[in-house]
Structures are given as C-alpha cells and as structure tokens.
C-alpha cells in the first residue's frame, strides 16, 4: 500500500495545539442460562444484536439469520465460526501481550459469555423454547449510509469482475475539487456486496492514476495505487460504519486531486459487474481540527524516523525484512520515532482517532504500541493501541476508539510507535496455500518487503486529529 517516504515527510509538515473535543456512543448485550437457554430467550436477542446488521434480507452477508429456521439451519457452522471468533468479522482482540485500554466504536465482538451461550445452545440441540418469550423483531439497523453527505462518487462505469480469483483493481476518480476541500465524513457503498471485499480510497494529488489506467478506467494494483505522494482517505471492509469526524474536524484534500479507489474483489464463480461508490461529506468551512492519516512502519525513511528493528533470521549485516519459506510465528518489527520538529514547525501532540493494521496474505497478527517520552495522567509510558490476533487480509479495516477527542490515546514528539507483525508462511495459512496453488508453487516462497501479492508489508494506519493551524 504505499510510498511511505514521501508520506512521512508530509505527515510532519504541519502544526500546533493539543486539546480536542467530543463525540460517540456504544451498545451492550445480555444473555441467559439453563431453562432459558433457548432461541426465544437467549439466542434471538443475541443474533439481533450481533448478526442481523449483516445477516438479514438486503444485508451484506449471503444469508439471513433472522428466523428460528435460519439460525437452526446454520447452527453447526455458526457455532464453529463463533467459537473461532471468525464471526462476527472483527480482527482486534486483547491477548497477554496487548491489552487495549480504550473501547472501540461499533464493536462487533461477542463477549466470552455470548460465545459460550451460543455454543451451548447448539450443543443442547438448538431448542426454540416458548415462542411467547421471543423478543419483537429487530427492524432498525442504524443509518446505512452517510447522513448529510454532499456527494457520491461512483466508479465511472460498471466493472466486469475477473471471475474465479481475487481481483484487486484501482479506479481513478475525479471528484472535481477545484479548491482545497475538507472532508467531514466518508463511507463506502459496495456495488455488489457479494464480491466487494475491501475498499481503500487514496488521494492522488498528482492525478497519476488516470495515466496508469490508460483509457481502461482501471488498473490492477495489489499493494497500493502506485502513484506519487498518495495519502489515504479511508479503509473499509464490510461492517465498517461510515467514518464521521464530527462538525469540527476535517481531512484535507488538496485542490485538483483525484481519488483512487482500490477495490478488492473476492473470487466469484459467475459473471458479476460492480459499480462501487464512495460517499463524502465536504465541510463548507475550514474546521478547527484536522484529521490526518499516518501510514507508517512499512519502510525505512532516509531521515531515520522509521526503522526496521532487529528480528529473527537477520543476516550478519544487520536487520533485514525476510520471512523464510515455511516460517511460522515469524516477526518483523518497525519503529517510528516522532520527531520534535518538522523544519521550523514544532510537532504537536496528536490524538489517535482510529487505527488499523495492514499486511498481506502471510500476516496473522499485528500489534501497534506506543512508548511515550513522558508519561502523564491517562498517558502511560507504554500503551498497546491495537492487537489483531485475528488479522485477516480479507477483513482489514480501521478501528475507531469510542472516546471523546480529548480522551483519545495520543502520540507526540519523542514518542516511539512500534509495529510488530507476525507472519505464518506455511501451508497452515490458507491464504498462503491459495496463493501457492494460483502460482503453481510447491512450497511457500521466501517473502520480502514489497507491494505485490507474495511480498509483505507491516504497515500501521493511524488516523490522527490535531488542532488546525494557520498552515493548514
């Protein structure tokens, strides 16, 4: 995904301030037991709360989990998926090496108790229970799009998805922004939810995507948009709600920029056309706070702000990013040290509004931690910001913290942000296995840093917020 070199420079080119302001909400669940371990009393409320946002008529999942028959019919498979925490789709979990202090917004995870309830209900034979005790049907599912959107930007033409394999394409789009434009919210609307697996929207300030598409409207682009000075507008997977920064915060798109929409299409066995779109809310004023996306960790920068740390299998010459064939649990780590200044400008403390992990097929877990130069109330010397022991390339997304702006985790000058990526480059990893068979290889290849299918990345996405300055 990227040219981090150019990016790191732009990230530190701006300035001033450290107070933030408010937003947000969350939900909770309840479970029952014993006599009440029935569909009516224990399971229907659970699937309403945690499954039906996707598994309902018109939802993005391929089948509904609404009626007793629906849930019973899928019960055994669902039990497996729930037990392995593969459903609901969500990659971020605590483990002993990483406990995240902040809650995430729109958290899809089941509690341990909910998993236990679901599993025991299936093992008990999936009783219906007393129909009179069933909850009323759930009919509201939150806004499905971006409220107050000011524009919708669609793929220029329906795209015929390449059948039978993963198809990762970049589509340049001209949003027609004649002036610098502030984005207060964004959302992706998949054209055909059966095949759109994830979408990353980049800003292409030099409008180079169009030439790459060479009149075809799109071009293949596994690792990133392959343009100079890209920045990131949003990263989306099914289940990710619209990104809304609130009235006071915006992400700047320089005038004249194009967007490049990278769409990952899932293998489809029939002919499918897709016309995905991105909804934007532009602000008609310059906001008081600036959202900025830092993509870091993937490559060393000449200025030394980002470096590769020593790891297993390093050659005598020093740290090297190499994942040997058949390595399991192999880690590579990167460190970003936030400088005190960028040129003459003092770098302010940044609130981390949302965070995400990006690796390719071999990636199985990524951890992002901060080691702060100075600890303070609510800002421990060491803090784990994200752990993704259920990382799956197919479900990559950003996770927004459920906290007002002044309570977000922070990163500031002198702090070190560490990215630790774990890879499984064996045939136990179904993604590696599939890539091998597509490429007719008999054993997993040695993997290096890069942007194509069998290269790897270890890239953190930090969507930060800071007070706007005169320079913005």
State the residues that interact with ligand HEC by CB under 6 A: 47, 50-51, 53-55, 60-62, 65, 74, 77-78, 81-82, 87-89, 108, 110, 238-239
Least Cβ distance, residue 264 to ligand HEC (angstroms): 12
Task: Identify which of residues 240 and 342 has a Cβ nearer to ligand HEC in the complex.
Answer: 240
With contact defined as beta carbons under 8 Å apart, do 198 and 284 qualify? no
Least Cβ distance, residue 131 to ligand HEC (angstroms): 21
Q: Which helix (H) or strand (E) holds 123?
A: helix 112-123
- Please give the C-alpha separations between residue 372 and each of 21, 43, 161, 318, 354, in angstroms, as whole numbers: 22, 44, 46, 26, 18
Task: Identify which of residues 62 and 316 has a Cβ nearer to ligand HEC in the complex.
Answer: 62
Task: Identify which of residues 66 and 110 has a Cβ nearer to ligand HEC in the complex.
Answer: 110
Least Cβ distance, residue 395 to ligand HEC (angstroms): 8
Least Cβ distance, residue 397 to ligand HEC (angstroms): 10
Q: Which residue number has the CB closest to ligand HEC?
A: 239
Task: Identify which of residues 193 and 217 has a Cβ nearer to ligand HEC in the complex.
Answer: 193
What is the maximum alpha-carbon separation in the chain?
72
Least Cβ distance, residue 74 to ligand HEC (angstroms): 5
Q: How far is CA 360 from the centre of its chain?
A: 13
Q: How far is CA 112 from the centre of its chain?
A: 23
d(CA 460, CA 7): 13
Task: Identify which of residues 12 and 39 has a Cβ nearer to ligand HEC in the complex.
Answer: 39
Task: Identify which of residues 165 and 448 has a Cβ nearer to ligand HEC in the complex.
Answer: 165
Least Cβ distance, residue 77 to ligand HEC (angstroms): 4
Q: How far is CA 408 from the centre of its chain?
A: 18
Task: Identify which of residues 71 and 347 has a Cβ nearer to ligand HEC in the complex.
Answer: 71
Task: Identify which of residues 3 and 398 has a Cβ nearer to ligand HEC in the complex.
Answer: 398
d(CA 465, CA 20): 8
Task: Identify which of residues 47 and 213 has a Cβ nearer to ligand HEC in the complex.
Answer: 47
Least Cβ distance, residue 237 to ligand HEC (angstroms): 8
Least Cβ distance, residue 83 to ligand HEC (angstroms): 10
Beta bridge partners of 200: 235, 262
Query: DSSP readout, 58-108?
Result: TSSSSS---SHHHHHHHHHHHHHHHHTT-SS------BTTB---SPBTT--
Least Cβ distance, residue 238 to ligand HEC (angstroms): 5
Q: Find tokens 């020093």 and name the residue.
A: 318
- Looking only at the bridges linking them, the beta strands covering 249-253 and 159-160 are unpaired
d(CA 334, CA 306): 7
d(CA 353, CA 356): 11
Least Cβ distance, residue 220 to ligand HEC (angstroms): 22
d(CA 367, CA 267): 29
Task: Identify which of residues 90 and 245 has a Cβ nearer to ligand HEC in the complex.
Answer: 90
Q: Helix, strand or coil for residue 47?
A: helix
Encoding tokens for residue 151?
A: 């524009």
Encoding tokens for residue 29?
A: 């669940």
Least Cβ distance, residue 246 to ligand HEC (angstroms): 24
Task: Identify which of residues 11 and 115 has a Cβ nearer to ligand HEC in the complex.
Answer: 115
- Please give the C-alpha separations between residue 136 and each of 44, 54, 69, 133, 140, in angstroms, as whole numbers: 10, 18, 16, 9, 12
d(CA 168, CA 179): 31
């Amino acid at each position: 995904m990227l040219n981090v070199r150019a990016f790191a420079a732009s990230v530190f080119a701006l300035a001033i301030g450290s107070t933030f302001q408010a937003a947000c909400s969350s939900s909770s669940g309840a479970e029952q037991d014993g006599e009440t371990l029935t569909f009516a009393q224990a399971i229907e409320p659970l699937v309403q709360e945690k499954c039906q946002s996707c598994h309902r008529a018109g939802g993005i999942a391929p089948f509904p989990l609404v009626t007793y028959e629906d849930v019973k019919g899928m019960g055994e498979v669902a039990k497996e998926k729930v037990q392995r925490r593969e459903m609901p789709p969500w990659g971020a979990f605590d483990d002993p090496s990483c406990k995240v202090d902040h809650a995430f917004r729109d958290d899809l995870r089941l509690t341990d108790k909910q998993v236990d309830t679901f599993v025991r209900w299936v093992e008990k034979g999936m009783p219906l229970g007393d129909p009179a005790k069933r909850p009323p049907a759930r009919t509201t599912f939150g806004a499905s799009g971006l409220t107050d959107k000011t524009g919708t930007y669609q793929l220029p033409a329906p795209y015929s998805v390449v059948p039978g394999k993963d198809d990762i394409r970049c589509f340049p789009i001209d949003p027609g922004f004649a002036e610098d434009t502030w984005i207060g919210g964004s959302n992706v609307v998949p054209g055909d939810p059966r095949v759109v697996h994830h979408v990353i929207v980049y800003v292409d300030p030099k409008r180079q995507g169009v030439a790459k598409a060479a009149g075809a409207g799109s071009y293949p682009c596994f690792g990133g948009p392959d343009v100079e000075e890209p920045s990131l507008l949003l990263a989306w997977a099914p289940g990710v709600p619209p990104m809304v920064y609130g009235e006071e915060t915006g992400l700047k798109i320089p005038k004249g920029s194009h967007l490049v929409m990278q769409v990952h299409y899932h293998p489809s066995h029939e002919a499918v056309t897709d016309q995905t779109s991105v909804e934007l809310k532009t602000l008609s004023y310059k906001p008081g706070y600036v959202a900025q996306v830092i993509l870091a960790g993937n490559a060393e920068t000449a200025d030394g702000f980002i470096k590769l740390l020593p790891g297993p299998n390093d050659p005598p010459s020093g740290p090297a990013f190499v994942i040997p064939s058949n390595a399991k649990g192999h880690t590579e780590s990167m460190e970003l040290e936030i400088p005190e200044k960028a040129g003459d400008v003092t770098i302010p403390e940044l609130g981390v509004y949302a965070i995400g992990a990006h690796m390719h097929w071999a990636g199985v877990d990524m951890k992002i931690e901060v080691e702060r130069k100075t600890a303070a109330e609510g800002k421990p010397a060491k803090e784990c910001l994200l752990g993704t022991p259920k990382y799956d390339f197919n479900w990559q997304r950003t996770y927004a913290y459920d906290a007002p702006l002044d309570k977000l985790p922070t990163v500031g000058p002198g702090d070190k942000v560490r990215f630790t990526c774990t890879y499984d480059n064996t045939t136990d990893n179904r993604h590696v296995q599939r890539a091998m068979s597509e490429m007719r290889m008999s054993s997993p290849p040695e993997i290096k840093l890069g942007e194509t299918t069998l290269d790897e990345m270890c890239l953190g996405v930090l969507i930060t917020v800071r007070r706007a300055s005169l320079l913005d």
